Structure 1
Amino acid sequence: MLTDIDMNNPLAAQTAVFAALAQLAELHPSLPGAYITTSQISPTEAHVLLDSLADLEAWRLATHTHADDVQLADLKGDMQLVFTAPLGRITLRVYTVFAPLPLVVAT
């Protein structure tokens, strides 16, 4: 159960996330756009949802994340590729969701 103190972080507590994302955008201006969320509950974390596997690869390279750190998960029929990338004092959880290709059996 969250307490009032857990919910009482001001927007300023998220400054590190915004600064890290701005720096990433400055260093990699062609990095694909993303749906990014952050919260007062965990003000030094951001979740980055990307549109495609290619976008995820671009973010992986930009954050210097090793390919072995990318994990594959099954989400009730859809697949998710995800990795966690530390950027200074903040942590990005970067992921994309995609439908698996149908298995074709030749007869």
Structure 2
Amino acid sequence: MNAGKIALIGDTDTISGFLLTGVGVGDKNYFVVKDSTKPEDVAKHFNLFIEDKTNAMIIINQTIASSIRTIVENHVKSKSLPVVIEIPSKGEKYDTTKDSVLKMLMK
């Protein structure tokens, strides 16, 4: 059984760090979000990663997930795969009250 791929949506530092570990290399299974990136573009890539049945997990910076919060929460509530993991961005405080998975687990 294949473990599945990991998709990434994050700022430049986050994506660079994961690429250095080998995640996303060769698959281009990542999307770099810059200050000029529109929420619609983030949502488009998030949905593409959800639709790709080879993805087992989507790792997304929490600040970026907040820009498409409704879409993230709807996915987390309705489907188990791919799992969405929110991680902090460099220089940003992590807010546990915004983490969709954590909120669901705390119920």
TM-score computed with the length of structure 1 as normaliser:
0.32
Where is the strand percentage greater, Structure 1 or Structure 2?
Answer: 1
Q: Name the TM-score, length of structure 2 as normaliser.
A: 0.32
Higher relative contact order (CA 8 A, sep 6+): 2
Q: More helix by proportion, 1 or 2?
A: 2
